[in-house]
Amino acid sequence: MKYASFFAAAAAALVSTVSAAGVSGAAEGFAQGVTGGGSATPVYPTTNDELVSYLGDSSPRVIILTKTFDFTNSEGTTSGTGCAPWGTASNCQLAINQNGWCDNYQASAPKVGVSYSTAGTLGILINSNKSLVGQGSAGAIKGKGVRIVSGAQNVIIQNIAITDINPKYVWGGDAITVNDADLVWIDHVTTARVGRQHIVLGTQADNRVTISYSLIDGRSDYSATCNGHHYWGVYLDGSNDMVTMKGNYFYYTSGRMPKVQGNTLLHAVNNYFHNIEGHGFEIGSGGYVLAEGNAFQNVDTVVETPISGQLFSSPDANTNKNCQSVFGRSCQLNAFGSSGSMSQADTAVISKFSGKNIAGAHAASNIPAWVVANAGHGK
């Protein structure tokens, strides 16, 4: 497919809008049908307290961000003794002793003093029926992530940046947490410089989630791999999760891009994995992954082995015809440039998509240019 025709198809998809004011486009894949705050009158928070209140109340809300909301040190700082599991070099992440992690799992690691922004360790609660939308390229949350948990459902996060959450420290905070939720759409979001996971789906059922056209920017002064590439990328660990990842830009990471386990069905389609010094996919027990139409450039290890779960990796045109029975089309080949590869073809994964909302797929050849130009907030 030519670049122009791919762009036209994607642009046409964005013409159809959710009824929510401020929200553009509609979710593809598993979160199809999400409406967030629906037709609620938009609100424009001006303070951190207003933002927290709007996100956490019980009313349907369309919340428009017109500036950066900086939570850094808003709850003071916490100091204590942590550890250095990956060494004490200046570019290595240190670890907070979260729930005794240093004592129980890294007992042999050198002990070090830690001091971090308390606000970063627990994200802002987002209740059901919310749309959180950035205006232009202005909307951002700094120093604190967000949480969609405890039964929350029907949530849209679109066109915002979430950044600078204790990047020096593992357990310093996650950008987006989803746990015990349903119908969540994360779209055109940029995450950068976080302590732990950019996006994490916890061990309780997260049901239907779509992550689309977002930028996971792994560039950081601190890394668990001590190479400037963030290790803790996307962790999908639910007990009954269906996740669509489409059109995302995974850049400058070193691991967990994504890590899939628990009982998670993942459709990874038309994503661009770029400059990963380490591994991309990590598929544990209970992870069921169909990866098609993705592009990998300068990725050391595309999928970590051994694979404990199941993977259909679109290895060749003949094998991809197995998708026809459920998808109504062949699956798209993945593309590899100066990268490792993946060739596992667990066809049993395909049947798990039967009767579900499945995102469309394009050929991988033009994905890098299109994703770089269009993924992330402000685009």
Query: 337 has which bridge partners?
Result: 297
Asked whether the beta carbons of 46 and 53 are under 8 A apart, the reply is no
- Separation of alpha carbons 296 and 364, rounded Å: 9
Please give the C-alpha separations between residue 92 and each of 117, 216, 229, in angstroms, as whole numbers. Answer: 18, 20, 10
Give the catalytic positions in this structure.
256
Q: Say how many C-beta atoms besides its own lie within 10 A of residue 144's C-beta.
A: 28
The token duo for 97 is 């002793």
Helix (H, G, I), strand (E, B) or coil at 367: helix
Report, in angstroms and rounded to the nearest whole number, the Rg of the chain calculated over CA atoms: 20
Query: 149 has which bridge partners?
Result: 179
Q: Which residues contact 100 (CB under 8 A, 6 or more apart)?
A: none
Nearest one of 228, 237, 272, 242 to 256, comparing CA atoms: 237
Please give the C-alpha separations between residue 309 and each of 326, 341, 351, in angstroms, as whole numbers. Answer: 21, 17, 15
Q: Say how many C-beta atoms besides its own lie within 10 A of residue 373's C-beta.
A: 11
Question: % helix / strand / coil in the chain, to the nearest 5?
Answer: 15, 35, 45
Helix (H, G, I), strand (E, B) or coil at 110: coil
Rounded to whole angstroms, the maximal C-alpha distance in the chain is 59
